[in-house]
Structures are given as structure tokens and as C-alpha cells.
Copies of this chain bind each other. A is one copy, B any other.
Amino acid sequence: MTEPCCGHGLRLEGSVREDARRRLLSVKGHVEGILRMLEDETVYCVDILKQVKAVDGALSKVGTLILQSHLKHHVVTAHERGDEDRIVEELMEILKYR
């Protein structure tokens, strides 16, 4: 029933997908917390900056996990599949300014 996206059939591995969801739910909760802090008109810049930085770190962790899974399951096998040009190009685009 579930059709592979984009025709290439490469999928984010199930356990990593679950882990990413859990972490992004936590990121969402953290962002909601910052939104509540911002309702307080006496809130201090640096207290927000610290929270933004913490969310950024949590988000980077999600990216790292997915990247590692992508390398392991799709990039190292790209030559065998014959899609290495696309795979490398996609990856370089993502790693730019990372």
C-alpha cells in the first residue's frame, strides 16, 4: 500500500525513524516552552538565547542520527545501485554550512 517515495525506494530505517520522532516531539515541546517564556514581557534575551541554542543542539542530534543511518544504509551502497551521482550531490547540499 505504501509506495516508495520518488521511485528510488530508499527509506529511512524504521528504528531511526521512531527515534527521530521521539526526539522531534521533544524539540516541539521545547519550542512551546520558549513560546511560553516569550509571553512574559520581562523575559531576558540571554535566557531565550540559551533555550534556542539547546533546541538547536537537539535538532542537530536528530540530523546526525538520520545522516548516520543514511550513510550506512544508502550511501555506502550507492555505486552498486548506480545512483552515486545523485546520492553525492544530495549529501553535499545537506552538508553545506552544516
Contacts and interface: CB of A to CB of B under 8 A. Distances in A.
Interface residues of A, number: 70
A53 B42 CA distance: 31
B94 A95 contact: no
Interface string A64-75: 101111111111
Contacts of A53: 63, 94, 98
Copies in the complex: 4
Interface string A1-42: 011111010111010010011001101100110110011111
Interface in A67-85: 67-80, 84
Contacts of A34: 24
Contacts of A43: 5, 11-12, 17
A80 B38 CA distance: 27
